[in-house]
Amino acid sequence: MIELRTPAEIEQMRPAGRFVADVLAQTSAAAKVGVNLLELDALAHELIRRRGAESCYIDYHPSFGASPFGKVICTSVNDAVLHGLPHDYRLQDGDLLTLDFAASVDGWVADSAVSVVVGTPRDQDLRLIETTRRALAAGIQAAQPGGKVGDISAAIAAVAHAEGYSINTQFGGHGVGRTMHGDPHVPNDGRAGRGYPLRPGLVIAIEPWFLETTDEIYTDKDGWTLRSADGSRGAHSEHTIAITPDGPLVLTAP
């Protein structure tokens, strides 16, 4: 069921958005060469505890997950692009790391993701990350009241295709509210003017993610981490936004 939020409820969601943005800022700043992914998860866990927030991930067990996630942040490295399960791995120079984090504050959820390069960057990684960021910005700009979800999808796809990236539509954006994942689904490719209407009060996560040379993925043996089929690297950018009469409001802006 798709629920539209009142202006007062959208205001109540702002603290969750600010908290999620702050956790991503702190964990991405801590992602240095030699830092263990489990240390990043522990940092996010401590920030949740201090804030009195609740993790959306630790007990999360959807049909596509092998078991409850068990951690509080997704850490996807190099050929991993989504749902990266933190494990005993120390970041190396040149790693492409995506951090994806969602939490509930006072009963309201926000969800966001960033990709960064640890240490010395490769030009192709920077281009891939920047493409996801520009696609996210285009998707947000297209999220205008009176439009359709397909407007967002088409705007994201136009940026990706212009850079030569193909698009996987198995996983994409989604409704956000009292829970992390809800309707409508917001795919990263689609036709403008089609899909669910963008009405004021709709709160969604928009999340373009692309792989360097493929659009095919497989699930790692950990039962969660999604990796590229050909070993190429992936990047992912995400914000939670609200549709307002004046246009899109980014709730997870840094």
Residues in the annotated binding site: 83, 100, 111, 174, 181, 207, 238
Annotated binding site for a divalent metal cation: 100, 111, 174, 207, 238
Dist CA 50 CA 217 (whole Å): 36
Distance in angstroms (rounded) separating the CA atoms of residues 56 and 83: 13
Residue ranges for the binding site for substrate?
Answer: 83, 181
Dist. CA 235–CA 113, nearest whole Å:
10
